[in-house]
Amino acid sequence: MRVESVRGMRDILPEEAVLWQRLEEGIRALFALYGYKEIRPPLVELAELFARGVGEATDIVHKEMYVFPDKKGQMLALRPEATASVVRAYIEHGLYAKGDLAKLYYIGPMFRYEKPQKGRQRQFHQYGVEALGSLDPALDAEVIDLAWHLMERVGLAREGLYLRLNSIGCREDRPAFREALRSYFSARKAELCGDCQRRLEENPLRILDCKEPQCQGAIAEAPKSLDYLCQKCRAHFEELLSFLQDLGLAYELDPRLVRGIDYYTRTVFELCSRELGAQDALLGGGRYDDLVELLGGPPTPGVGFAGGMERLVLVLSQHLTANPDAPDLDVYVVPIGDEGRRKALEVLARLRRAGVAADLEYVGRSLRKAMSVAARRARHALLLGPDELAQGALTLKDLASGESQTLSLAEFLADPRAFLSPLPSGEKGGGDPFPRKTG
RNA sequence: GGGAGCGUAGCUCAGCCUGGCAGAGCACCGCGCUGUGGACGCGGGGGUCGCGGGUUCAAGUCCCGUCGCUCCUCCCA
């Protein structure tokens, strides 16, 4: 029986991988522009890290996490998200001891056992930033600005995006708000769906983003977290709003936005696309001022976001008019006969060491066919046959102009680039959202 | 977790309703054109019809199950 890929795990084939490479390059460049440095935590952690950090009662941990024992019986987990890992590393390596703000970013695979659908795989990829060590609302604003900036760089128009924003307060405010929700929803318990009746005990905040139609009436009139903020949290949030105004970033206050991870405090936000269907959130994040302490570090505030690569690729590919057939080689070597075939590999090796992208007709097609492949893949065809080799020469054909010339093999190999026509500008994958540096 | 649709050549799909030789276009290979590319013409190779079972003289087609994909719901990135 044929072995196939596991459900929810998919291959990114070369054609699509080009898009991923460009996205990753662009994301790294932009994060660097804001002073973030890459961190690469492992994909496997103790399961306990996520149970404590993300929250035992969250769907992510108790329903969707890949958990397994290693040979010593330790419970391990494939990371379902990266913030907990980044914070663990921050504590473990004493990054706080440097007495500075730590600005870290990551890009990599995450794992959640969910029902796969478009834009949602079981192995998926997230990029994200974490800024640890400051309570300044300007930092919240910077993180949100970075999120917007990234989407614009990727080529998404501002009009197609919207920012949902809320503040859910600090741990001092939370008990009062939670109590208010509990007593409010208890009175209307009969209206709630089964899940929400359970959430009433476990975590009444989660009722707020329930999508069940029957719950909507009760949710609409529910207490709002903004009304339960302490003085400091209110001031923090108001300052954030004014910073966003200064930056010209529009937001929609959404009292129902609470997000599905327990570590959030104060600011929570999502940046969404109007071009996506059910999975419209491109990235989400917020503040987590208690997480470092919760995981055994010194009290340290933090703020960050995470975004899904798959969804970005999805939106981005709708905006691209890529030409996958554009030649990617400088030279395609076409040997003729046995002599040519024997000389070809050596010529290839010399070309590549001179920085010329080159490949060889390995399949043994007819000359006519090989020339046709050459025209598709390269800008030059290099013919090596008995006629050429007899006089220590080669035939170089410019496939755009159709002109060919006979050159001395030794002269050509001494500086092959001098004989090759330069790359035409704007050659590949039109509409590149992340223009490469030239030179 | 719940609901719906779809799995046929490398790719896009027709054929299924109404059971009777497994097809088209693109791609690939050869020839026309013996050492020179995109066009054109002619020819060719390719398929456990997702998988398993059932009904039938006969199943790609009908029935049941199963796996996968897509969409909605849910969850979220």
Instruction: Encode pLDDT of A47-68 as tens digits.
Output: 999 999 999 888 899 889 999 9
Q: What is the dihedral of CA A213, A219, A221, A227, to 10 degrees?
A: -160
For A335 and B46, how far is CA from C1' in angstroms? 28
Minimum-distance residue to B2 (CA–C1'): A115
Instruction: Encode pLDDT of A134-185 as tens digits.
Output: 999 999 999 999 999 999 888 887 888 899 999 999 999 988 998 999 999 9
Instruction: Encode pLDDT of A244-287 as tens digits.
Output: 999 999 999 999 898 888 899 999 999 988 776 666 889 999 99
Cα angle, residue A37 at apex, residues A283 and A270 outer, rounded to 5°: 10
Closest nucleotide to residue A272 (Cα to C1')?
Answer: B77
Q: Per-residue pLDDT averaged across A371-399, rounded? A: 94
For A124 and B66, how far is CA from C1' in angstroms? 26
Q: Where in chain A is the domain with CATH 3.30.930.10?
A: 14-173+229-316
Using pLDDT thresholds of 50, 70 and 90, give the confidence band for residue A424.
low
Average pLDDT, chain A: 89
| Higher-pLDDT residue of A191, A294 | A294
For A119 and B24, how far is CA from C1' in angstroms? 33
Burial A289-311 (b: 16+ CB within 10 A, else e): bbbbeebebeebbbbbbbbbbbb
Closest nucleotide to residue A365 (Cα to C1')?
Answer: B29
Judged against a pLDDT cut of 80, whether residue A99 lies above it is answered with: no
**pLDDT value at position A128?**
97
User: Are the C-beta atoms of residues A215 and A191 closer than 8 Å to each other?
Assistant: yes
Nucleotides on strand B with an atom closer than 7 A to protein CB? 1-2, 29-31, 33-38, 48, 67-77
For A122 and B49, how far is CA from C1' in angstroms? 29
Tokens read off for A148: 């917007």
In percent, the amount of chain A with pLDDT more than 90 equals 64
Predicted TM-score (pTM) of the model is 0.90
**pLDDT value at position A50?**
96
Class of domain A329-419: alpha beta
Q: Where in chain A is the domain with CATH 3.40.50.800?
A: 329-419
Minimum-distance residue to B75 (CA–C1'): A59
For A13 and B48, how far is CA from C1' in angstroms? 26
Closest nucleotide to residue A196 (Cα to C1')?
Answer: B74
For A376 and B40, how far is CA from C1' in angstroms? 19
Q: Per-residue pLDDT averaged across A87-92, rounded? A: 97
Closest nucleotide to residue A368 (Cα to C1')?
Answer: B36
Please state which CATH number belongs to domain A14-173+229-316.
3.30.930.10
**pLDDT value at position A320?**
65
Closest nucleotide to residue A4 (Cα to C1')?
Answer: B68
- Greatest pairwise CA separation for chain A in angstroms: 97
